[in-house]
Amino acid sequence: MPSDAVIFFRDVPIYQIDNLVFSDASLELGQGEFAYLIGKTGSGKSSLLKAMYAELPVKQGQAMVAGYDLIHIRKREIPYLRRKLGIIFQDFQLLSDRNVEENLLFVLKATGWRNRKQMEGRIGDVLGKVGLATKGFKMPHQLSGGEQQRLAIARALLNDPEIILADEPTGNLDPETSREIMRLLFDISHSGRAVLMATHNYLLINEFSARIIRCEGGKIHSL
């Protein structure tokens, strides 16, 4: 495995329940690298991401993510793996009954933070990074779609992850807001984090060029 690879899959079969999605998934992503994951609906992009954060079990081949061997990972280790990952979804998955700061506080408590002052400091840091420093008191429904996605990115950054996995993060956004989110994700990769982004938006791919990984016919092709 290359020394700077934070994701390394070699000859990994991936199943969604009993359905074989990939017979021999192989790819690698280096520290600070940005890559697009593309392919038609149903080609396995989301299944591949789920395998990376141990939502789908991996039982054969070689599979390393953020220093964890997914073939031999124990159930109790999965939360520690996920602390090294920032996962961003298309539908934001925010807690609608809590304000911005409380959404982030919930995640910190759930991932083992205890010191109130440190939690408040970390929340301030990530909200500043995504341009929401003055929005901490607002409820999710009071935010625009772009602001909600920025909050989802802030949440993904809370535990200073090595890797960002983004599943169609601009899918529900207008073109200009999508560009703002792309600039933010590229800034994150320039800070040393690997970013793997599943997308159907070829206009964004053309505008923000980066490496492309294609899922097609049960195979992964690195372009």
Chain-centre distance for alpha carbon 123: 19
DSSP 174: -
How many CB atoms neighbour CB 32 within 10 A?
16
Q: Give me the mean pLDDT over the 73-90 stretch.
A: 92
Whole-angstrom CA distances from 179 to 201, 204, 208 are 11, 7, 9
Q: Please say if the pLDDT value at position 123 is more than 80.
A: yes
pLDDT attached to residue 1: 65
pTM of the model: 0.93
Q: Give me the mean pLDDT over the 154-177 stretch.
A: 94
Q: Which domain holds residue 180?
A: 33-55+80-222
Q: Please say if the pLDDT value at position 93 is more than 90.
A: no
- Domain contains 208: yes
Torsional sign, CA 145, 148, 154, 156: negative
How many CB atoms neighbour CB 210 within 10 A?
15
Average pLDDT of the chain, as a whole number: 93
pLDDT attached to residue 185: 96
Q: Please say if the pLDDT value at position 2 is more than 70.
A: no
- Domain contains 141: yes
- Domain contains 42: yes
Q: Give me the mean pLDDT over the 12-24 stretch.
A: 92
- Domain contains 69: no
- Domain contains 171: yes
Q: At what angle do helices 100-110 and 116-129 cross, to 10 degrees?
A: 120
Q: Which residues contact 4 (CB under 8 A, 6 or more apart)?
A: 30, 31
Of the pLDDT bands very low, low, confident and very high (cuts 50, 70, 90), residue 112 is: confident
Q: Residue 108 is part of a domain; what is its CATH number?
A: 3.40.50.300
pLDDT attached to residue 111: 87
Cα–Cα distance measured from residue 124 to residue 207, given in angstroms and rounded to the nearest whole number: 31
Q: What are phi and psi of 54, to 5 degrees?
A: 65, 30
Q: Which residues contact 14 (CB under 8 A, 6 or more apart)?
A: 20, 21, 22, 25, 44, 47, 48, 51, 56, 58
- Domain contains 125: yes
Of the pLDDT bands very low, low, confident and very high (cuts 50, 70, 90), residue 172 is: confident
What single-letter amino acid sits at 20?
Answer: L
Per-residue pLDDT reduced to its tens digit, 44-75: 999 999 999 999 999 999 999 999 999 999 99
- Domain contains 188: yes
Bridge partners of 211, per DSSP, are 35
Q: Which residues contact 70 (CB under 8 A, 6 or more apart)?
A: 51, 52, 54, 58, 63, 64
How many CB atoms neighbour CB 123 within 10 A?
22
Cα–Cα distance measured from residue 113 to residue 123, given in angstroms and rounded to the nearest whole number: 12
Q: How many domains does the chain have?
A: 1
- Domain contains 70: no
